[in-house]
Structure 1
């Protein structure tokens, strides 16, 4: 599959929906590269990969490490890296950290949470050669300030605020944006309000693409399944069954047999 350019991604607006999925290592990145248009190295790795309760403690060094692994596994897939919490509080810190991404990894773009309040940051980055994917709606990095993970777009005021955020992100130079945890009808309005692709997660089908965390979509994470996640395979069950079969064969001295020895 040919690697998309930013121009090609923009042309998918109101066309063939974009397919985005998270990955954190070379093995899964290689598997996903056959189907995904975009791989997101999400700060969600702090939870699904690192076992932490939220995304906030992941560091820039950790994100760079995982991004390099993903890029090695999927060199022909467009890769976006989440900017970690606290790495883009002002224009200078945002630029310095984004420059680390470009200098130390082959990633194609960075993703920043926030709408109109982060427009100056996005504008500064894009003006200095950094490709930016926006992220509006439910912002995981802001969950403590908001008192939890709260669905957006429940009122007309919230809907208009989201449209304002999307337009500000576009005007600042972002080439696409993620919209998370937003009522489906409002997300569709937001997508219609801008000319760049809007990729949804928990935001219905009226947008320009979808993204899911791979461990959710493949059924690896058992403690909790968000309402918006469809599990396409019960990965946890299949892995447990495989490891259980391996255990039995080892204990019964059935593995390795003559087919697996030198």
Structure 2
């Protein structure tokens, strides 16, 4: 294994040492190659591809077959970053189904970690997968696969009760064996509390600058979304190239220049 290879152990070391972790979504080999050259630590094949690649209104229509296809394309060009792949909607409704779906993402797609959304209902699936040697990334806060249940894409954890629930679920997911947590669209104060409480790294998206790392949808940070979320920054403007934008993103995450207070809740 390359000495530059990002592993679960190395991510924990980065958190311990206070070194910020950069992550971007990635759906094909060309972007994967440029991201690796720029030093991105984590590549996430997200089911966000349903919206930004396929033109869907939500992530829900994305199938497991489609996730395997995109993961395989990214894996061909991904050598040093850790490759995380989303388990799509209703592909982990039971622990047994989660195991089968994760196996496909790893064996056919080349995933090195799988990601799933939610807390309590998925704890047993997290336990079962980690017992079988499958690294798991959890996801709390705004859950895109639950958009209809949540009533839209809204900030989560604003009141004390909701914040306490997210913190409790984060701890339970860590105890169930999760190696990483994505925390989406929560107040910066909650992002800081979750990151300080957990031993595993917390990757924020709209969760403030105190998280252990940051993730953005690649097309958002390249300025391709006509209606970007308030926590997004266009890194392509002034960068001169896509590779330059990726380099600028890595630098901003590492030195704390992104996100700013204006890009937090």
Q: Pick the TM interval, shorter chain.
A: 0.7 to 0.9
Whether contact under 8 Å (1:38, 1:78) holds in the other structure is yes
Q: Is 1:28 equivalent to 2:3 in the alignment?
A: no
Q: Distance in 2 between matches of 1:117 and 1:194?
A: 20
Shift of 1:196: 0.5
For the residue of structure 2 that corresponds to 1:113, the secondary structure is coil
1:22-47 CA distance string (max 9 Å, x none):
11000001000122000000000111
Instruction: Pick one of 183, 187, 195 that aligns with 1:183.
Output: 187
| CA-based RMSD | 1.7
Q: Which segment is superposed worse, 136-145 or 98-107?
A: 98-107
Q: Distance in 2 between matches of 1:68 and 1:2?
A: 21
The residue that corresponds to 1:142 in the other structure is 146
1:128-186 CA distance string (max 9 Å, x none):
11110110111000010111112112111111111101101100101111000000001
Shift of 1:12: 1.7
Unaligned runs of 5+ in 1: 240-262
For the residue of structure 1 that corresponds to 2:150, the secondary structure is coil
Q: Distance in 2 between matches of 1:234 and 1:69?
A: 27
1:36-71 CA distance string (max 9 Å, x none):
000000000111011111100000010111001111
Unaligned runs of 5+ in 2: 243-265
- The alignment's TM-score, normalised by the length of structure 2, stands at 0.86
The residue that corresponds to 1:7 in the other structure is 9
Instruction: Pick one of 48, 58, 78 that aligns with 1:74.
Output: 78
Question: Between Structure 1 and Structure 2, whose CA radius of gyration is higher?
Answer: 1
Aligned length: 237
Q: Distance in 1 between matches of 2:19 and 2:121?
A: 30
Shift of 1:234: 4.2
Q: Distance in 2 between matches of 1:78 and 1:54?
A: 26
Q: Distance in 1 between matches of 2:13 and 2:116?
A: 22
Shift of 1:231: 0.7
Whether contact under 8 Å (1:116, 1:164) holds in the other structure is no
Instruction: Pick one of 102, 107, 110 that aligns with 1:103.
Output: 107
